[in-house]
Amino acid sequence: GQPLVKLDETQSLAQLEIVNSQFTALRVREARLIAERDGLDSVVYPADLTDPDAKTRQEQDAQRGIFAARQATRQVRDEVLEQRIEQLRSRVGGIEALKASKQSLAVSYAEELEDARALLSQGFSDKNRLRELERAHATHTGEAADLVAQISGAQIQIGETRLEMIRLEREFQNEVVGELAETQTTLADIEERIKAVRDVDARTTIRSPVDGVVNGLQFHTIGGVISPGIRILDVVPQNDDLIVEARVSPNDIDRVALNQEATIRFSAFDRSVPTTFGRVAHLSADSFVDEATGVQYYTAKIEVTDEGLKDLEGLQLIPGMPAEVFISTGSRTLLEYLFKPLSNALARSFIED
C-alpha cells in the first residue's frame, strides 16, 4: 500500500546493521570450519561473499589467517611425529643388522661347539675349550634374542606414534565439527533475529491497506512521539462496504437478528437528507458497558445496502460521524440506537478508541 506515515528508523537500522554484521562474520567463520572439516587447502566462501565490502573482507582475512595458522600447527605436529617414526625405523634397521650379525656368530659358535664336543669325545680337546665355546654361543644367542625384543619394542612405538597422529587429527576434527555445529545453530538464531528486526523496520513505514482517503490524522509534528496503541489516522475506504455500528439495549436484543432490515439516518446532515437502508450484518456475542455512563449494551453492525449507497451519493461520509439506526422487528421499530460512529469494519488498519 501507499506510505502514509514514516516513523524514525534510526534505532531499527542500527540494530539491523549489528545483526547483519554478526550474521556475515559467522558465515565467514562457517566457511573456514567447513574447509577444515573437508581437508581443503584454502577457504572457499559462498558466492554472495566473493565480492565483499571492506568489513567483510577484514573478516575473511582474519579467518584465512586462523585457517593458515591452524594448518601450520597441524603440519608441524605431523612432521614431528613422522620424524619420530623415521628415527624408529632407522633404529630398527640398525638393530636388524646387529641381530643378523649376532645370529651369524651364534650359528658359527654352535658349529664350533659341535666339533669341539666330537673332538672331546675322541680325547683330542679339553673341557675348558668346550666351556669357552658354550659361553660364547650362549652370549651371542642371548644378545640376538635381546635385539629381537628391541625390534619389537621399536615397531610398537611406531604403531603408537601412528595412533597418536590419528588421535590428534580426530580430536581436531571433533573440535571443528563441534564449532561448526555451534556456529550453524547461532546462524539460525541470528537469521530469525534479522527477520524480526526487518519486520520492526518495515513497520516504521505505515502504509494504507486499502484505496481510500486519509482522515483524522492525529500527528503532524516531525519528531513527535506516538505511544503504543494510539490511533494515528483513519482511512476512508473507497469502493467498500459501508458499516454503521449501533448500540442495542439488552432489553431489545432478543428481538434483533442477523439480516434484519434497518433504516439509517446520519444526524450530522440536514434533515432534508433522506434516510438510507441497511441490514444487520453482525451482533456481538456478549454485552459491553460504557465506561463513561455505565450503560450496558450490545453492538450491532449494520451494512448499508447497495440501494442505500445510491441514496448517499454526493455526501461526504467520514469515520466517527453519528448516526441513528432503526431496526425493524416486524411489529414495531426500535428507536434506541444512537450512535457509535460510522466505521469500516472490513478494511481498517488503525486503532480507534
Which residue, chain included where needed, has cell 502514509? 4
| CB-CB contact of 201 with 10 (8 Å) | no
Mean pLDDT across the chain = 82
| CB-CB contact of 234 with 204 (8 Å) | no
Residue 55: per-residue pLDDT? 87
| Res. 103 pLDDT band, cuts 50 70 90 | confident
Please state the rounded mean pLDDT for residues 139-155. Answer: 89
| Res. 314 pLDDT band, cuts 50 70 90 | confident
| Res. 340 pLDDT band, cuts 50 70 90 | very low
Residue 220: per-residue pLDDT? 66
User: Which of 190, 191, 183 minimizes the C-alpha distance to 63?
Assistant: 183
Does residue 162 carry a pLDDT above 90? yes
First to last CA, the chain: 24
In angstroms, rounded to a whole number, what is the distance separating the alpha carbons of residues 283 and 288? 12
User: Which of 237, 256, 254 minimizes the C-alpha distance to 246?
Assistant: 256
| CB-CB contact of 309 with 242 (8 Å) | yes
Residue 239: per-residue pLDDT? 64
CB-count burial class (<10 Å; 0-12, 13-18, 19+) for 278: buried
Listed in sequence order, the residues at least 6 apart from 61 whose beta carbon sits closer than 8 Å to its beta carbon are none
Please tell me the least confidently modeled range out of 187-196, 201-210, 266-275, 343-352.
Answer: 343-352
SS3 percent helix, strand, coil of the chain, rounded to 5, is 50, 15, 30
